[in-house]
Amino acid sequence: MRRLAQPAWTLTALLALLALSAFLRTRALDASLWIDEGISAGIASQPAGEIPELLRQDGSPPAYYLLLHAWTELAGTSEAALRFPSLVFALLVIPAALWAGWSLFGRTAGWICAAAAAVLPFLTLHAQEARMYALVALLSVLATASFAHAFALRRRRYVPAFAGLLALLLYTHYWALFFALGALAGLGALVVAAAPEERRRLVLDGALAFGFAAIAFAFWVPTFTFQLEHTGAPWSSPPPAAGLVAAVALAVAAAIFVRLGVDAGERRALLALGVLAVMSLGSAWVAARVEPGWALRYLAVLVGPLLLLGGAALVRIGPPGVVAAAAISCAWALHVDPGEKSNVAAISSVAATSLEPGDLVVSTQPEQVPVLAHYLPDGLRFATPLGPVADPAVMDWRDALSRLRTTQPELTLAPLLDSLPAGRRVLLVAPETGDGRWSAPWTRLVALRSDEWTLALGADPRFRLLQREVPEARTARTSLRLTLYAKAREGRHEF
């Protein structure tokens, strides 16, 4: 059994990787929040006891939001404060990857995994995002390594660790279900390959681990079922064919990797991790073809198996593999992050000086409301094409697509404008939609409603244009434009 030694140089090298990674992952820590981060901040701002029930409107499990709630109670809700937990999780992936690779495949593999984790652009992006993906990546590394130790190398003390980590992963992101399916397939491959006397023990340990995770998650299943029926991911398009190609390529690579193991234990570990990765990715792709729910950030659940498979394969190739690992790490370290994710902070600061309590903020993209509410002054009223917003901190995704299909300016916008007293102001916030990111069912409809509402408000003679702001450049996620009106006179207007 390999043991992770702790000489001074090991600690020094690890601290150097952490310092480099911290430098790379704090350059945009205080940048403007974007839609999903505003949703995180809004949900985390609610009382802790209300968050699980509130998530019936959102479509996510509760672990990350409860953790973020506890943290923001202490640290506040600035951009850096909201993102700090993600930064910590991303940095913790480095020692986790070092331990995982070293304990499974040797010291050099451990350092390759740690170096890759330190500079991986995917983690650099999500270390600076107030979302759960850095935590998912950390849990993925720990759960994957525990799975390999418990079932491939038969270190049975890791069975409870894997069970607990899998349960926590399920409560953090639903793509953990695909990870669990992949792990079950990996266990099945090990059972088939095992000697007859070992198969019964493998099945028993698997039943204990997966059974515990299933029982733990069962408490959340009613909420998950409701979310699956009423929220889903209407903003998502079907997965690209590249996802299936990647799964096939990974299957071929994994079949080759198995032959690189230096002993039977390594070969079993590589077999289990290969099946885990291929089945996780493949089942996610198939499920997203049936019900759209695909996003590259969800691939955080595969960080563990892919890091470990890559580290093991590169070190077994020999010196060329180590050189390739160094070259890849250097290229990743030099990777330049895209610019601002959103301009919502900038446009909010422009609008804030012109708005007073009681004024109306109309966002034609409903999910922008929580992040707008985060930046704009208190006391404003919010509305979207779905109608007036009762709680601007929360986006209600329940049957949102079907509700948005039935809305029309004369049914939703007209009553809002009619009820507004003369002298009040209306801030219209609409997304820039002239690129390829607006092709999903939800985003296509948002673009249509944005055009309709912009034209309707601009044509209303009761309102006087005060200000119009258009972004100078597109941002990485969503660019917003604002138009400020004042209601000059009372009366009703027919659309």
Read off the pLDDT of each residue in 64-90 and give the average, rounded to a whole number: 97
Residues 286 and 366 reside in one and the same domain: no
Q: For all residues of the chain together, what is the average pLDDT?
A: 91
Read off the pLDDT of each residue in 448-457 and give the average, rounded to a whole number: 92
User: Tens of pLDDT along 472-484?
Assistant: 777 878 899 999 9
More confident of the two residues 160 and 330: 160
pLDDT over threshold 90, residue 108: yes
Say how many C-beta atoms besides its own lie within 10 A of residue 164's C-beta. 17
Residues 308 and 408 reside in one and the same domain: no
Residues 328 and 351 reside in one and the same domain: no
Residues 281 and 311 reside in one and the same domain: yes
Residues 177 and 259 reside in one and the same domain: yes
- Rounded Cα distance between 234 and 98, Å, is 38
- 41 is a domain residue: no
pLDDT at 1 (0 to 100): 44
Read off the pLDDT of each residue in 277-303 and give the average, rounded to a whole number: 92
pLDDT at 495 (0 to 100): 52
- 376 is a domain residue: yes
pLDDT at 464 (0 to 100): 93
Residues 366 and 321 reside in one and the same domain: no
Given 283, 309, 333, which residue is the final one in a domain?
333
Q: What interhelical angle do 133-147 and 303-317 show, nearest 10?
A: 60
- 393 is a domain residue: yes
Domain extent, residue 103, equals: 8-30+78-333
Residues 211 and 285 reside in one and the same domain: yes
- 301 is a domain residue: yes
User: Tens of pLDDT along 344-389?
Assistant: 999 999 999 999 999 999 999 999 999 999 999 999 999 999 999 9
Q: What interhelical angle do 133-147 and 264-290 show, nearest 10?
A: 140
Q: Find the angle CA(416)-CA(420)-CA(424) to the nearest 5 degrees.
A: 130
Read off the pLDDT of each residue in 138-164 and give the average, rounded to a whole number: 97
Residues 237 and 349 reside in one and the same domain: no
Residues 301 and 406 reside in one and the same domain: no
pLDDT at 233 (0 to 100): 78
pLDDT over threshold 80, residue 336: no
Given 287, 310, 333, which residue is the final one in a domain?
333
Residues 419 and 456 reside in one and the same domain: yes
Residue at token pair 């296509």: 444
- 1 is a domain residue: no
CATH code for the domain in which residue 352 is found? 3.40.50
- 68 is a domain residue: no
Instruction: Work out how many domains the chain is built from and give that number.
Output: 2
More confident of the two residues 273 and 411: 273
The percent of residues in the chain predicted with pLDDT above 90, rounded, is 72
CA-based torsion, 295, 296, 297, 301: positive or negative: positive
Residues 362 and 293 reside in one and the same domain: no
Residues 266 and 367 reside in one and the same domain: no
- Rounded Cα distance between 66 and 416, Å, is 35
pLDDT at 471 (0 to 100): 79
Given 313, 333, 353, which residue is the final one in a domain?
333
Say how many C-beta atoms besides its own lie within 10 A of residue 161's C-beta. 18
- 338 is a domain residue: no
- 409 is a domain residue: yes
